[in-house]
Amino acid sequence: MEQGRRLSWSDLQCLARRKPASSTVRAGAGAAAVGGNGRSLAKALSVPHLMAIGVGSTIGAGIYVLVGTVAREHAGPALTISFLIAGIAAALSALCYAELACRFPSAGSAYHYSYICIGESVAWLIGWALILEYTIGGSSVARGISPNLALFFGGEDKLPFFLAQIHVKWLDTAVDPCAAILVLIVTALLCLGIKESSVVEGVITIANVAIMLFVICAGGWLGFQNGWPGYNVPKGYFPNGASGVFSGSATLFFAYIGFDAVASTAEEVKNPQRDLPWGMCLTLSLCCFLYMMVSVVIVGLVPYYAMDPDTPISSAFAQYGMQWAVYVISSGAVLALIASLIGAILPQPRIVMAMARDGLLPPIFSAVDQRTQVPTLSTILTGICAAILAFFMDVSELAGMVSVGTLLAFTMVAISILIVRYAPPSEMPMEGADPGSLESLASHTDHSEPVVEILEDPFGNVKAPTASEVANMVRRQKAKRCIVLLFTMHGMCLR
């Protein structure tokens, strides 16, 4: 490249180029990867596996804290309505994810959809935002496990050295070997295979749901025995009015985040057009039901202004003499954190793999293990990064960046839905190309003559088209112009 060369319009167009939709990822995708074997991911997931991943990723330890915080500061006894409103808002986002996952069932989640519908530069931004979100989210979840284990050992001072947070003089924060060890264990689990990982996630999630059902049943029995004192408050059911209910629902919306982990496994679902919508809808329905029932019980046992903001559920049972229930509820919090940790690390390597397929990362990260059919190298890399972050850093101050990544991803998914629904055919990418292939990176043009491009990705990998590929590209471009012409004539007839 000549020095001092100015950017041309074609250079800027490369930032907005889109890849065609690919309904399947055929074997051999990414075969040009260095060290890769070109194999696709395993088609092993069904609706129960998707529910295990979705519910485990969604129901974190936050439910054991948010109940008290939102009830005291915002909603009061109307906490159940706040959960319902937040669930409806989350369901709208989940439906957007479900539609795009059905149309484009490939790894990458919001990154993949943005690349198809919006452009490369936006997809690059979304991909890194998601990687940052999952890394920080997983690290913060891992660092929250050690304090919850302290109850079973009689306090934080009595924890074994490999579970306790250790203060180092030359560091501003305590190192957490327990968090790093758990992240590495989860990484090793994910390297075994997607089906094995989802089965373990399902076992942990079932145990967590069982503990929540215990809270609902035991708390309901206590409530009927004592006349639900939490609802007999001077300010009534809406102490802060409608504004308190809606502000509470805004906070509770983050209790539903996690269903996007289901979309990241779209390429590994046996029947994505059927199973993905069912998996997401059943995940949110179950989570919303459990959240609402727990809030009904806990708010009814203790007046909202008397709740413990840190441990609202266990303290509510302790007020009725059920001290032993504290251990059961703390077990649920630990299980919820472990399930959330698996759900946070699971999508990362698939996003890295998708970006490597498209040439936005070194192609070696698109390699898929021949035996386990998972992106082992990407999984190990993201797991080590999350473990280092969890060991050395207090990521609570960076937790706000997780919300930024979530906001960007949800916004781009909603915009992608509008583009898919209302963009004319001439503005939509063609279908039928493999991820990472030459056609998937070619700009969508409307020239009258066939255009054949030889593209170079950021890492200098060049692939020249063969004669058969050129012929296929010419045929597709001619078919595209015929479709555009037909739609133009149809519009003129309607006028």
Question: What confidence tens digit (pLDDT) does each residue in 387-430 have?
Answer: 998 888 766 566 666 777 788 888 899 998 888 887 665 555 44
pLDDT value at residue 169: 73
pLDDT value at residue 163: 76
Most confident of 144-158, 356-370, 481-495: 356-370
Average pLDDT over residues 241-253: 89
Flag whether pLDDT at 111 surpasses 70: yes
> How much is the mean pLDDT over the chain?
78
Residue 311's closest CA among 292, 298, 321?
A: 298
- The model's confidence at residue 456, banded by pLDDT at 50, 70 and 90, is very low
pLDDT value at residue 13: 61
Residue 147's closest CA among 65, 209, 54?
A: 65
pLDDT value at residue 351: 92
- The model's confidence at residue 11, banded by pLDDT at 50, 70 and 90, is low
pTM across the whole model: 0.78
Average pLDDT over residues 442-452: 40
> Measured between alpha carbons, how far is 480 from 444 in angstroms, rounded to an integer?
10
Which residues are CB-neighbours of 102 under 8 A, at least 6 positions away? 272, 273, 276, 277
Average pLDDT over residues 182-200: 92
385-397 pLDDT, tens digit per residue, is 999 988 887 665 6
- Out of 7-11, 301-305, 460-464, pick the least confident: 460-464
> Measured between alpha carbons, how far is 284 from 276 in angstroms, rounded to an integer?
12
Flag whether pLDDT at 442 surpasses 70: no
Flag whether pLDDT at 214 surpasses 90: yes
Within 10 angstroms of residue 367's Cβ, the number of other Cβ atoms is 21
- Out of 77-86, 156-165, 240-249, 337-346, pick the least confident: 156-165
Flag whether pLDDT at 46 surpasses 50: yes
Query: Between these two residues, 469 and 260, which has the higher pLDDT value?
Result: 260
Write the CA distances from 389 to 118, 182, 183, 434, 446, integer angstroms: 32, 13, 10, 35, 47
How many DSSP H helices and E strands does the chain contain?
19, 2
N-terminal to C-terminal alpha carbon distance within the chain: 50
pLDDT value at residue 490: 42
Structure token digits, residue 157: 């001072």
Average pLDDT over residues 7-36: 52
> Measured between alpha carbons, how far is 445 from 473 in angstroms, rounded to an integer?
12
Q: Which domains does the chain have, with CATH numbers?
A: 41-422 (1.20.1740.10)
Flag whether pLDDT at 142 surpasses 80: yes
Average pLDDT over residues 431-436: 41
> Measured between alpha carbons, how far is 68 from 295 in angstroms, rounded to an integer?
9
